[in-house]
């Protein structure tokens, strides 16, 4: 038996012995920090208009929105760096300590965004500080999803791995719902000038207040049995060498995740700006639709993860990507032909269903196709490279609409990303060497 096969057998034996209560508790502790990371990203996307006006004032609404979304996307450029640097560190020091480190870095980035004065008060220093905060968030997020997904995969049994790992994505939907619910409440009690002036900072400050609780939860995590069984954690040189050798696996994983990141940001972070600025619907209506999308994803993701345990990852991923390729643009064209709250809700929930079906299988599948010795780094790097493109989805969609005059272009962008996911699914295989 090979060393990797022995490691998998060890993990399966110990995961089987792990009590259900302990597994559920550990999953909740891990997912809580992942929720905060996505909550911070969502808040920035939801209030991109107000943030653009506060830190990039130009008198041109389009320019302000593009600069805001560009700053939002800049954080994703740091993800590959965080994936390699922090990923190699986590593969060496352990999953538990890595999860605590990423939470600390994310907290500093969030606090920077929440407390930076506006451009009118400190000039160019304001957008520079906001950019630094986003870059720090991106650096930590580069390995956060990888650490969370690998930890969940390593505490799950073989028969429930899809279900358990799906809670990584499901926790993100809690963040979507929480950020949207707070947004609905704020737009109800505050008028637009107040929201633009200072109201958008409130959700960020709320995120900062829950950080101590999350530190307590993660501090009490136990290390996974598989990592403890590994007597010789990989050094940075080995990690880098394996990445070079397995570049096809990393590239395939990147194409696979491009569908996940693009569709996620279309149906969440971009929806408030799309509904308000492009479709001219009310801000509260757009945030309510986003809240419904988060709830739908939260319910659907574990179900599709469990389904992937029964029928396999690839059949579910192929079906979801084909559905997205064929229907994303027609659905969006139907929406923009006569924009209403009902049509926006229907289209977004349909896109959310395709996202959940694909993501419920794709995330756990990515943990299965990367080399076991660098599982955190390999997962995080593939995911981060994809977010360097998919994370700019709000900017790309805004530019496509501006350049073509076609408000349905987000559907075309989503179809292109789904095609990448479809190709990657066909060529990928679980790691066997």
CATH of the domain at 369: 1.20.1250.20
Whether residue 390 is contained in a domain is answered as yes
CB 15 within 8 A of CB 157: yes
User: Which pair of structure tokens corresponds to residue 279?
Assistant: 């479709």
Whether residue 388 is contained in a domain is answered as yes
The span from the CA of 351 to the CA of 358, in Å, is 11
CA distances from 425 to 221, 249, 318 (A): 33, 12, 7
Whether residue 45 is contained in a domain is answered as yes
Q: Looking at residue 251, what is its pLDDT?
A: 92
Using DSSP's 3-state secondary structure scheme, residue 242 falls into helix
CB 415 within 8 A of CB 258: no
- Predicted structure pTM score: 0.78
Q: Looking at residue 1, what is its pLDDT?
A: 40
Q: What share of the chain is helix, strand, coil (3-state, %, to 5)?
A: 85, 0, 15
Non-local CB neighbours of 135 within 8 Å, separated by 6+ positions: 74, 75, 77, 78, 109
Whether residue 33 is contained in a domain is answered as yes
pLDDT digits (tens, 9 = 90+) for 154-212: 888 888 888 888 888 888 888 878 887 888 888 888 888 888 888 888 988 888 887 78
Q: What is the largest CA-CA distance in the chain?
A: 66
Whether residue 433 is contained in a domain is answered as no
Quote the radius of gyration of the chain (alpha carbons, Å): 21
- 261 sits in which H/E element: helix 247-267
Whether residue 370 is contained in a domain is answered as yes
Whether residue 137 is contained in a domain is answered as yes
Q: Looking at residue 171, what is its pLDDT?
A: 82
Burial class from Cβ neighbours inside 10 Å (0-12, 13-18, 19+) for residue 216 reads exposed
- Which stretches in the chain have pLDDT values below 70? 1-21, 33, 93-96, 217, 220-234, 432-433
Domains of the chain: total: 1
Count Cβ atoms below 10 Å from residue 213 Cβ, excluding itself.
Answer: 11
The dihedral built from the CA positions of residue 134, 96, 386 and 399, taken in this order, carries a sign that is: negative
Whether residue 314 is contained in a domain is answered as yes
Closest among 371, 387, 367, 374 to 81, alpha carbons compared? 387
CB 351 within 8 A of CB 267: yes
- Residue-range definition of the domain harbouring residue 31: 3-225+234-427
């Amino acid at each position: 038996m090979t060393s990797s096969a022995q490691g998998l057998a060890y993990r399966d034996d110990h995961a089987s012995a792990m009590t259900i209560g302990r597994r559920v508790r550990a999953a909740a502790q891990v997912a809580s920090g992942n929720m905060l990371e996505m909550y911070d990203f969502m808040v920035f996307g939801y209030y991109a208009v107000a943030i653009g006006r506060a830190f990039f004032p130009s008198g041109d609404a389009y320019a302000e929105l593009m600069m805001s979304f560009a700053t939002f996307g800049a954080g994703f450029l740091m993800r590959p760096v965080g994936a390699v640097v922090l990923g190699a560190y986590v593969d060496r020091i352990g999953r538990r300590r890595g999860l605590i480190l990423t939470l600390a870095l994310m907290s500093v980035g969030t606090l920077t965004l929440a407390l930076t004065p506006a451009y009118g008060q400190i000039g160019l220093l304001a957008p520079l500080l906001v950019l630094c905060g986003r870059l720090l968030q991106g650096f930590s997020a580069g390995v956060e999803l990888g650490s969370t997904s690998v930890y969940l995969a390593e505490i799950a049994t073989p028969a429930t791995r899809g279900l358990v790992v799906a809670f990584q994505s499901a926790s993100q939907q809690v963040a979507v719902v929480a950020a949207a619910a707070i947004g609905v409440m704020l737009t109800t009690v505050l008028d637009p000038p107040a929201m633009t002036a200072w109201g958008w900072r409130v959700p960020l400050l709320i995120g900062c207040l829950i950080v101590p609780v999350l530190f307590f939860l993660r501090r009490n995590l136990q290390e996974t049995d598989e990592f403890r069984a590994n007597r010789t954690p990989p050094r940075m040189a080995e990690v880098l060498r394996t990445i070079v050798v397995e570049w096809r696996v990393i590239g395939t994983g990147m194409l696979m995740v491009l569908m996940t990141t693009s569709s996620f940001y279309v149906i969440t972070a971009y929806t408030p700006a799309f509904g308000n600025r492009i479709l001219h619907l009310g801000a509260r209506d757009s945030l309510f639709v986003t809240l419904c999308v988060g709830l739908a994803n939260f319910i659907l993701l574990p179900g599709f993860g469990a389904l992937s345990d029964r029928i396999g990852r690839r059949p579910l991923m192929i079906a979801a990507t084909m559905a997205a390729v064929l229907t994303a643009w027609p659905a969006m064209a139907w929406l923009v032909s006569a924009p209403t709250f009902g049509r926006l809700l229907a289209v977004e929930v349909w896109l959310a269903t395709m996202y959940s079906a694909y993501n419920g299988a794709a995330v756990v599948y990515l943990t299965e196709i990367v080399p076991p010795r660098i599982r955190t780094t390999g997962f995080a790097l593939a995911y981060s490279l994809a977010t360097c493109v998919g994370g700019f989805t709000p900017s790309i969609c805004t530019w496509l609409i501006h350049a073509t005059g076609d408000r349905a272009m987000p559907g075309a962008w989503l179809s292109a990303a789904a095609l990448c996911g479809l190709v990657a699914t066909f060529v990928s295989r679980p790691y066997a060497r």
